[in-house]
Amino acid sequence: MTKDAIILAIESSCDETAAAVVKNGREVLSNVISSQIELHKLYGGVVPEIASRKHIEKINQVIEEALDQAKVSLQEIDGIAVTYGPGLVGALLVGVAEAKAISFALNKPLIGVHHIEGHISANYIENKELEPPFICLIVSGGHTHLVLVNDYGEYEIIGHTRDDAAGEAFDKVARAIGLGYPGGPKIDKLAKEGNKEAVAFPRANIEEAPYDFSFSGLKSAVLNHLNSCEMKKIEVNKADIAASFQEAVVDVLVSKTIMAAEEYGLDRIAIAGGVAANSALRDGMNKKCQEKGLKLYYPSPIYCTDNAAMIGSAAYYEYIKGIRHGLDLNAVPNLRLGQR
Ligand code: KG4
Ligand code: ZN
Taking a 5 Å cut-off on Cβ, the residues next to ion ligand 2 are 140, 306
Model pLDDT, residue 163: 97
320 CA to centre of own chain? 24
Q: What is the CATH number of the domain that holds 162?
A: 3.30.420.40
Contacts of 169 (CB under 8 A, 6+ apart): 215, 216, 218, 219, 245, 249
Ligand 2 centroid, distance to 3 Cα (angstroms): 31
Distance in Å, CA 305 to ligand 1 centroid: 6
Give the mean pLDDT of 247-276: 98
Residues 311 and 293 both lie in one domain = no
Domain holding 109, by residue range, is 6-121+304-319
DSSP string, 201-267: ------TT-TT-B--HHHHHHHHHHHHHHHHTTPPP-HHHHHHHHHHHHHHHHHHHHHHHHHHTT--
What is d(CA 164, CA 215) in angstroms, rounded to the nearest whole number?
A: 6
Which of 11, 143, 170, 310 best tests ligand 1's pocket when mutated (most atoms within 8 Å of CB)? 170
- Of 42-46, 228-232, 277-281, the one with minimum mean pLDDT is 42-46
Same domain (yes/no): 192, 237: yes
Question: What is the model's pTM?
Answer: 0.96
Query: Residue 9: exposed, middle, or buried by beta-carbon count in 10 A (0-12, 13-18, 19+)?
Result: buried
Q: Is the pLDDT of residue 311 over 80?
A: yes
pLDDT digits (tens, 9 = 90+) for 268-289: 999 999 999 999 999 999 999 9
- Which ranges of 27-180 does DSSP label H, i.e. alpha helix? 37-41, 48-70, 89-106, 115-126, 166-176
Q: Is residue 326 part of a domain?
A: no
With respect to residue 334, please indicate whether it lies within any of the assigned structural domains.
no
SS3 assignment, position 116: helix
Residues 6+ apart with CB under 8 A from 60: 98
Are 165 and 187 members of one domain?
yes
CA torsion through residues 139, 16, 34, 71, sign: positive
Q: Over the stretch 79-90, which tens digit does the pLDDT of each residue have?
A: 999 999 999 999
106 and 151: one domain? no
Within this chain, do residues 21 and 138 fall inside the same structural domain, yes or no? no
**What's the 233 CA to ligand 2 centre distance in angstroms?**
39
The CA 1 to ligand 1 mean position distance, Å, reads 40
Judge whether 340 lies within some domain. Answer: no
- Render pLDDT for 199-222 as a digit per residue (tens, 0 to 9): 999 999 998 999 999 999 999 999
Give CA–CA dist 252/285, Å, rounded: 11
Q: What is the number of the ligand 1 atom nearest to the C-alpha of 167? A: 12
Q: Indicate whether 68 belongs to any domain.
A: yes
Q: What is the SS3 assignment for 72?
A: coil
Half-sphere exposure of 127 (CA within 13 A, CB side): 22
**306 C-alpha to ligand 2 centroid (Å):** 5
Strand partners, 106: none
Establish if 42 belongs to a structural domain: yes
In this structure, are 113 and 231 located in the same domain? no
Q: Which residues line ligand 1 (CB under 6 A)?
A: 14, 140-142, 167, 170-171, 182-185, 188, 273-275, 277-278, 305-306
Nearest-5° angle of CA 144, CA 147, CA 151? 145
| Residues 166 and 197 grouped into a single domain | yes
Closest CA to 330 of 143, 106, 99: 99
Q: What's the number of domains the chain is made of?
A: 2
Tell me, yes or no, whether 281 and 191 share the same domain: yes
Instruction: Give 163's Cβ-side CA count (13 Å radius).
Output: 10
Q: Are residues 245 and 109 in the same domain?
A: no
Q: Are residues 276 and 195 in the same domain?
A: yes
Residue 41 domain flag: yes
Determine, yes or no, domain membership for 179.
yes
15 in any annotated domain: yes
Give the pairing of strands 79-85 and 27-35: unpaired
Whether the CA torsion 143, 147, 153, 154 is positive or negative: it is negative
Task: Write the DSSP assignment of 178-203 as a string of letters.
Answer: T--SSHHHHHHHHHTTS-TTSS----
Tell me the average pLDDT of the chain: 96
> Does one domain contain both 158 and 60?
no
Pairwise CA distance, residues 71 & 11, whole Å: 20
| 322: helix, strand or coil | coil
Q: Which helix (H) or strand (E) holds 292?
A: helix 279-292
Residues 138 and 276 in one domain: yes
pLDDT band (50, 70, 90) for residue 340: low
